[in-house]
Structure 1
């Protein structure tokens, strides 16, 4: 077997200096202090986050915020230790790919124990991943390329893949593939059998307690109110000095701003430009504005039955040239970026940002005339009631309407709730012209390949593989590129091919706004985990 590193800079010394999976601070507090948030002597940290989830069972979690809890209470074979880094070993000690890229062999680190005190073995890894697959919940597709798992001994896991998958290490960082204490889960109704979707009954237990090897254990969960995490007394690694987290489900940004200002919370995760401005210069409060990998886009269906003139490639090019990307950034707020194309800034292989001077109304009008629409036309733009990191899609739709009016395209905005038909039409590929957003399912550029012709999102725009077979073939070419340099080369070709062509225009890489008490260190934006609680210390 030949070892191939997918990490851009795989450094075990770095891992040893980090909090979760065996690293971290050696000054962990053990006094059980639970003083109020904001008190420099408190070992309890209070975090306010948004809502929008219904379970904390790792086998089912798929929304934005549950990975924060899962990452604190469970661990995965690999982990992202920085927002823009590559996956690095966490529970894994070593890993190897076979020459054909269809077998991945992982060896566990020594001395890993669960919160129960049970030692972790390869059987726990196999159980956890097979359970996620067989539950057939929203995140099950993450493991689609895993055909089977062998455990020849207590420390070795052999993954047999059904196709080459250059993103497999990134996928193994995902919360739904966290390693569970199989003995505890089985005692509470869990199974990894093929019929788990109908026979597993462990969700009710895992919604109120954790069964992992992480730095923390979940001691209570009150839906729509709060989650409480306490230090795992049997944690096998070195912990930070935060003994307890109280995570309040408090989505309103104004409430978060006021409770942070008063010292009732330590971290506010759902700030807006307005509330961040209110906190500017406040004593003892630090603010962070930065781009996430959530991206907003304009979609123009390639099937003119649904989109009329928007299916014309020249019209699509005209739309690209007419959009005011700088104005869109203003709407989305400080920290917004405009990605070059479908690979967001921060991902391996990203070509960065679309140039600020790309907009050219005269060129857009020329392209529209070449398409046969010199006098413009009328078109419906359907938009739903969702928001992208706090920015209403309806606000982005209005901006698109105003921009296209400059070249004679008269947009009629049609509002349709997600639950009242929009969601089904979007997924079925019957929406003609819309503004939508895409949050990464797993933290790897390969997730963006779904925008290619024939991909899941590509087909939502009526873009079939035979419409651009050369571009469609780059999907498998990227999947097979287990060497980083080779994968980057293909990803760059894809972005260049889609920079001015195709039914999608990436209009904004949305920002996150976080504010926190300066008594903390290690607070930062995290695409994989929203906020990595295992990296936070009290100063």
Structure 2
């Protein structure tokens, strides 16, 4: 994405040239059809469904591959490759009937063996998405159109998990012919990762046309698609890192959609031939405290953690970092997910914070180290956010030493000696609350129980969480599950290990005339619905 004589001009000329070439190089398109150009900072780590793990990956994997089920615009589960399913044995036995019309891009039918192979490969590759299938005990394929999945424990959200992009079904014959392995040796013997960077083997509305890392990702219409044909002949993702450059491309007509426009940059697009929509997202940013971190000067008891929460002015922080384009969040379950409603947003009350600190013998204050990722995500500059939190905490005599670091360094520290005060973000992997209770709920062995230092301070563990999680996953109805998710949410809010700050709004920015752009919990951006 890089034009002489300056780096910025190199970027813009290259992007304009790529956009021009994109409009000329769509051989499958009719004369009046134009490719869809999307400006995005792509975080792709792989194009292999068993290895891909990123936000852009969700868009790619739900456009080129397909899942057994999907979500509609209201986040209701809908059939996709599976035309129907039955659930038995208290949410442990799932029988799926595949749609006999479904076929891969090479014209071959999607069969039960492909589902079994794809799920087993995901499990055995052991990459990030493997947790989505770790509860699968057996997969049986009594005939070409039937898949029977037995789980090791009840899971009322299992069908929702199957709508995740990372559970796309692969053409097993094609993949195996190009080095893919699904059995228990897959982690060592699978050699298909490079092949997937240049080829696809799915049944989705698009196929991979070309991928150039740090430059562009091109998808072409799947001419053998078994469903409704997508509205555009080609989609071209162009690597554009910052929001200002994305906005400039949108204004100039070099892009049809800009995917990471922040609230401030959106103001510059007012009056242009551009549509700006602000919609609530399911993403959130949070602060986290680690009572078991090594080198702590004070004991971060629940009362002290609550004092820290009272001392942070969330509304002011949202205004400062997002220009008000976000919602405060009470518990680490996204607003709009089961169990998220009805929780009281923590008040900003520095006097109450001082009272709690005084009762803990800390009226003179103390010092905290804060290491956090040096990043800008969902429109939030983490350094600006942490500077604001530093100022708030100083008002109650808590001195915070800020240390922004690269994300890999942060990961090492939070999992090593742990970090007294940190901040990070989370986006859903599927539409369901179990992932949040499991990840943030402080059950023994959970991610945040470990990061909070439960090995050094066992008081971090919340013994009620595992039971609530298990009961919710056994629930026979959504209403029964909702009550249990809400109860788990109340526990997480009270523990004050995870202190949510904001759920940033999502800005959809696209050229007038483009239709069908929407945000999706499973797919991020459903490309097949878009026309231009």
Q: TM-score, normalised by structure 2?
A: 0.89
How far apart, CA to CA, are the structure 2 residues paired with 1:86 and 1:350?
A: 17
Match for 2:428 among 423, 426, 440? 440
How far apart, CA to CA, are the structure 1 residues paired with 2:295 and 2:77?
A: 41
CA contact (8 A) 2:75 2:431 kept: no
User: How far is the alpha carbon of 1:89 from its aligned partner?
Assistant: 1.7
SS for the counterpart of 1:292 is coil
SS for the counterpart of 1:436 is strand
SS for the counterpart of 1:473 is helix
Taking structure 1 as reference, are residues 143 and 155 closer, same or farther at Cα in structure 2, changes over 3 Å only?
same
Q: In the alignment, what sits opposite 1:282? A: 272
User: How far is the alpha carbon of 1:179 from its aligned partner?
Assistant: 0.7
Matches within 5 A, 1:220-299: 220-283=210-273, 285-299=274-288
Q: TM-score, normalised by structure 1?
A: 0.88
User: How far is the alpha carbon of 1:410 from its aligned partner?
Assistant: 1.8
Q: In the alignment, what sits opposite 1:425? A: 413
CA contact (8 A) 2:469 2:488 kept: no
Q: In the alignment, what sits opposite 1:177? A: 167
Matched, 1:85 2:85: no
CA contact (8 A) 1:127 1:182 kept: yes
CA contact (8 A) 1:304 1:310 kept: no
Match for 1:140 among 130, 135, 139? 130
RMSD: 2.1
How far apart, CA to CA, are the structure 1 residues paired with 2:498 and 2:64?
A: 38
Taking structure 1 as reference, are residues 433 and 535 closer, same or farther at Cα in structure 2, changes over 3 Å only?
same
CA contact (8 A) 1:68 1:533 kept: yes
How far apart, CA to CA, are the structure 2 residues paired with 1:359 and 1:525?
A: 31
Matches within 5 A, 1:6-405: 32-33=28-29, 41-82=32-73, 85-283=75-273, 285-303=274-292, 305-309=294-298, 311-333=300-322, 334-351=324-341, 354-355=344-345, 358-405=347-394
How far apart, CA to CA, are the structure 1 residues paired with 2:219 and 2:459?
A: 47
Taking structure 1 as reference, are residues 159 and 216 closer, same or farther at Cα in structure 2, changes over 3 Å only?
same
User: How far is the alpha carbon of 1:478 from its aligned partner?
Assistant: 2.4
Taking structure 1 as reference, are residues 465 and 512 closer, same or farther at Cα in structure 2, changes over 3 Å only?
same
Matched, 1:492 2:486: yes
How far apart, CA to CA, are the structure 1 residues paired with 2:465 and 2:415?
A: 22
Taking structure 1 as reference, are residues 87 and 251 closer, same or farther at Cα in structure 2, changes over 3 Å only?
farther
How far apart, CA to CA, are the structure 1 residues paired with 2:50 and 2:236?
A: 23
User: How far is the alpha carbon of 1:34 from its aligned partner?
Assistant: 7.2
How far apart, CA to CA, are the structure 2 residues paired with 1:170 and 1:497?
A: 24
Match for 1:520 among 493, 509, 514? 514
How far apart, CA to CA, are the structure 2 residues paired with 1:398 and 1:275?
A: 21
Matches within 5 A, 1:521-536: 521-536=515-530
Q: In the alignment, what sits opposite 1:504? A: 498
Taking structure 1 as reference, are residues 273 and 504 closer, same or farther at Cα in structure 2, changes over 3 Å only?
same
Q: In the alignment, what sits opposite 1:460? A: 451
How far apart, CA to CA, are the structure 2 residues paired with 1:209 and 1:201?
A: 14
CA contact (8 A) 1:94 1:107 kept: yes
How far apart, CA to CA, are the structure 2 residues paired with 1:53 and 1:304?
A: 32
User: How far is the alpha carbon of 1:145 from its aligned partner?
Assistant: 0.8
SS for the counterpart of 1:139 is helix
SS for the counterpart of 2:61 is helix
Unaligned runs of 5+ in 1: 1-29, 36-40
SS for the counterpart of 2:340 is coil
SS for the counterpart of 2:326 is coil
CA contact (8 A) 2:97 2:145 kept: yes
Matched, 1:474 2:468: yes
How far apart, CA to CA, are the structure 2 residues paired with 1:143 and 1:204?
A: 24
User: How far is the alpha carbon of 1:429 from its aligned partner?
Assistant: 5.9
SS for the counterpart of 1:100 is coil
Unaligned runs of 5+ in 2: 1-25
Taking structure 1 as reference, are residues 224 and 111 closer, same or farther at Cα in structure 2, changes over 3 Å only?
same
1:195-245 CA distance string (max 9 Å, x none): 011222222221112111111111111111111111111111112321211
How far apart, CA to CA, are the structure 2 residues paired with 1:434 and 1:186?
A: 43
> Number of residue pairs matched?
500
Taking structure 1 as reference, are residues 239 and 310 closer, same or farther at Cα in structure 2, changes over 3 Å only?
farther
CA contact (8 A) 2:105 2:222 kept: yes
SS for the counterpart of 2:495 is coil
How far apart, CA to CA, are the structure 2 residues paired with 1:307 and 1:68?
A: 42
How far apart, CA to CA, are the structure 2 residues paired with 1:404 and 1:291?
A: 28
CA contact (8 A) 1:102 1:163 kept: yes
Q: In the alignment, what sits opposite 1:14? A: none
How far apart, CA to CA, are the structure 1 residues paired with 2:495 and 2:118?
A: 42
Q: In the alignment, what sits opposite 2:398? A: 409
User: How far is the alpha carbon of 1:304 from its aligned partner?
Assistant: 6.2
